[in-house]
C-alpha cells in the first residue's frame, strides 16, 4: 500500500477542500477512544507549537489514532512530516444543543497557498439527527470574515456528515462549515477535532507518480452549481493552488491563466498610427 | 385587531438577474417562534427571484454590481443576494 495520497486525491482536495475516509479507524479503537473523549482533561489544549508526533503517548488511544498508518499518510501528504500541533478539541453535543452559524475558522490566514488542515474524527455512528458537521464543498478559497456568513442557511451542494464510526474528514481550514443541531432523542454526538500547521513547503509532499493522469484536469475543471457566475474565478483559485502544491508553475486548464499572463507590448500612443 | 409580522426570504442567485437560477436561500420568519432547521438537501423554495415575486414576495433589497477595481478576480461572499419580504398576520396561539 502506498504511504502517501496520490495526485488524484490531492486534485480532489484542491477542488472540494476536503477528503473523507469512511470507517478509517476500526471500531475497537473507537470504543477505546471514548474513555479519552469522556475525560475532562482531554479538553485541555496541549502546549501549542509542539511537533505533533510528540504531543500524545503512542500507547494512549489518541496516540494510536494519530499514529494510525492511514492518518500518517494523510498528514504527511498534506502538511508534511513535521506537522506542528495547533490545537485540538473533543466535541460532545447533547440532544437539543449544537446549532452553529455557518462560518470559516481561519479568515485571518492571509497566506496565498500554504494551508493548515483540520482533522475531524467521528468515533461513533453519526446519524442525520445527531447533527454532524455541515460544510460547503469548494468554499475553501473564499476568504470571508468568520461568521459574517452566518445568515447563509441553505446553499446548493452543501453536505452534512452522516457516517459510520471511525470516519475521518480532513479539510482545508478555509472550508465554510458549522455544527448541526443534535435533534436526536437521546444520542450524544462526539467529534474530535485537531488542527495542524505545516512546517515545510507544501510542495510535492504527496505521491506524484500519477501527476500526468488526465483525470486530474477533469477533476479540477468540475463545476459547482453554487459558484454561479464566479465559476471561472474559482478555476483561477484552483489552478494557482495546484501550481503551488504540485510545483508546476506553468500548469493550466484551458489556458485560463496563460491568457491572463500573456502581457504583451504596451505601445506608446505615438506609435499607433 | 390584527397583528402583522414580517417574513424575510433571502435568495442567492447565480447572476444579477432576478430570473437567473437560485443557488441558495435563507428564511427568517417573524411570525413564528420556530427556527427552521438547516437541512443540507432541501429544495430551493423558488427557482428564481422572479418566481418568488409572482408568488407575492416583495423585493426590498437588490444586489449592487461591480467589485472594487483590482479585486475583480477575488472570490468571497455570495454576490447576488436578493432580500424579499412578506407581511403576514401572526397566527393565533
Return the bridge partners of A85, or none: A196
For A210, counting Cβ atoms within 10 Å of its Cβ (0-12 exposed, 13-18 middle, 19+ buried), the class is middle
CA triplet B37, A100, B15: central angle to 5 degrees?
70
Residues 6+ apart with CB under 8 A from A216: A7, A8, A11, A210
Cβ(A119)–Cβ(A170) under 8 Å? yes
**Tens-place pLDDT, residues A119-138:** 999 999 999 999 999 999 99
Q: How far apart are the first and last CA of chain B?
A: 14
Cβ(A154)–Cβ(A134) under 8 Å? no
Q: A68: part of which helix (H) or strand (E)?
A: none
Cβ(A205)–Cβ(A13) under 8 Å? no
What residue ranges in B1-93 does DSSP mark as E strands?
4-13, 22-29, 58-61, 81-89
How many angstroms separate the CA of residue A240 from the nearest CA in chain B? Answer: 13
**Chain B environment of A126 (Cβ under 8 Å):** none
Instruction: For residue A254, give Cα distances in angstroms to A11, A16, A220, A258.
Output: 16, 20, 11, 9
Q: Domains in chain A, start-ordered, CATH in brackets?
A: 7-197 (2.60.120.620), 214-260 (no CATH)
**Chain B environment of A229 (Cβ under 8 Å):** 14-15, 79-80
Q: Which residue of A has its CA nearest to B74?
A: A233
What mean pLDDT is predicted for residues B20-43? 87
**Tens-place pLDDT, residues B57-72:** 999 999 998 887 888 8
pLDDT at position B71 is 83
Per-residue pLDDT of chain A (273 residues; tens, 9 = 90+): 479 999 999 999 999 999 999 999 999 999 999 888 888 888 888 889 999 999 999 999 999 999 999 999 999 999 999 999 999 999 999 998 888 999 999 777 878 889 999 999 999 999 999 999 999 999 999 999 888 999 999 999 999 999 999 999 999 999 999 999 999 999 999 999 999 999 999 999 999 999 999 999 999 999 999 999 899 999 999 999 999 999 999 999 999 999 888 876 544 544 444
Nearest CB to B23: which of A178, A226, A236?
A: A226
Taking an 8 Å cut-off on Cβ atoms, the answer to whether A153 and B13 are in contact is: no
Mutate one of B7, B21, B24, B66 to test the A interface: name it (highest A CB count within 10 A). B24
Q: A18: part of which helix (H) or strand (E)?
A: strand A18-21
Taking an 8 Å cut-off on Cβ atoms, the answer to whether A142 and B12 are in contact is: no
Cell numbers at residue A228, please? 454561479
For A114, counting Cβ atoms within 10 Å of its Cβ (0-12 exposed, 13-18 middle, 19+ buried), the class is middle
B7: closest CA among B27, B25, B29? B29
Cell numbers at residue A137, please? 464543498
Higher pLDDT residue, B83 or A109? B83
- Is A180 an 8 Å CB contact of chain B? yes
The Cα–Cα gap between A33 and A21 comes to 18
Whether B29 shows a pLDDT value over 80: the answer reads yes
Q: If you search the block for the grid coordinates 504583451, which residue do you land on?
A: A264
pLDDT at position B69 is 83
**Chain A environment of B14 (Cβ under 8 Å):** 225, 228-229
Taking an 8 Å cut-off on Cβ atoms, the answer to whether A143 and B76 are in contact is: yes
pLDDT at position B9 is 97
In chain A, residues 86-125 whose CB comes closer than 8 Å to chain B: 99
Taking an 8 Å cut-off on Cβ atoms, the answer to whether A230 and B20 are in contact is: no
How many angstroms separate the CA of residue A181 from the nearest CA in chain B? Answer: 8
Q: If you search the block for the grid coordinates 444586489, which residue do you land on?
A: B63
Taking an 8 Å cut-off on Cβ atoms, the answer to whether A230 and B13 are in contact is: no
pLDDT at position A264 is 62
Instruction: For residue A94, give Cα distances in angstroms to A31, A107, B38.
Output: 19, 28, 18
pTM equals: 0.93
Amino acid at each position: 500500500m502506498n504511504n502517501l495520497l496520490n495526485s488524484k486525491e490531492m486534485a480532489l482536495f484542491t477542488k472540494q477542500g476536503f477528503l473523507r475516509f469512511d470507517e478509517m479507524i476500526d471500531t475497537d479503537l473507537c470504543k477505546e477512544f471514548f474513555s479519552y473523549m469522556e475525560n475532562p482533561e482531554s479538553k485541555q489544549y496541549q502546549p501549542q507549537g509542539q511537533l505533533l508526533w510528540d504531543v500524545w503517548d503512542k500507547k494512549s488511544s489518541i496516540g494510536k489514532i494519530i499514529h494510525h498508518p492511514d492518518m500518517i499518510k494523510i498528514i504527511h501528504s498534506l502538511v508534511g512530516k513535521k506537522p506542528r500541533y495547533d490545537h485540538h478539541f473533543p466535541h460532545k453535543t447533547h440532544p437539543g444543543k449544537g446549532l452553529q452559524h455557518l462560518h470559516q475558522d481561519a479568515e485571518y490566514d492571509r497566506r496565498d497557498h500554504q494551508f493548515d488542515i483540520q482533522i475531524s474524527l467521528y468515533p461513533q455512528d453519526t446519524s442525520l439527527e445527531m447533527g454532524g458537521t455541515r460544510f460547503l464543498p469548494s468554499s475553501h478559497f473564499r476568504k470571508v470574515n468568520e461568521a459574517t456568513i452566518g445568515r447563509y442557511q441553505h446553499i446548493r451542494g452543501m453536505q452534512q456528515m452522516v457516517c459510520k464510526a471511525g470516519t475521518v474528514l480532513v479539510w482545508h481550514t478555509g472550508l465554510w462549515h458549522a455544527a448541526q443541531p443534535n435533534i436526536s432523542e437521546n444520542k450524544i454526538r462526539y467529534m474530535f477535532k485537531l488542527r495542524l500547521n505545516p512546517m515545510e513547503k507544501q510542495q510535492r509532499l504527496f505521491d506524484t507518480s500519477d501527476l500526468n493522469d488526465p483525470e486530474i484536469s477533469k477533476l479540477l475543471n468540475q463545476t459547482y452549481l453554487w459558484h454561479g457566475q464566479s465559476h471561472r474565478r474559482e478555476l483561477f483559485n484552483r489552478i494557482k493552488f495546484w501550481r503551488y502544491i504540485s510545483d508546476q508553475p506553468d500548469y493550466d486548464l484551458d489556458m485560463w491563466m496563460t491568457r491572463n499572463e500573456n502581457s504583451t507590448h504596451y505601445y506608446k500612443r505615438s506609435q499607433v498610427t | 385587531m390584527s397583528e402583522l409580522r414580517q417574513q424575510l426570504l433571502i435568495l442567492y442567485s447565480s447572476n444579477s438577474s432576478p430570473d437567473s437560477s437560485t443557488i441558495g436561500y435563507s428564511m427568517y420568519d417573524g411570525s413564528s417562534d420556530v427556527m427552521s432547521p438547516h437541512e443540507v438537501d432541501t429544495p430551493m423554495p423558488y427557482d428564481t427571484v422572479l418566481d418568488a415575486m409572482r408568488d407575492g414576495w416583495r423585493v426590498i433589497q437588490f444586489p449592487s454590481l461591480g467589485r472594487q477595481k483590482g479585486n475583480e478576480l477575488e472570490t468571497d461572499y455570495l454576490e447576488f443576494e436578493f432580500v424579499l419580504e412578506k407581511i403576514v398576520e401572526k397566527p393565533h396561539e
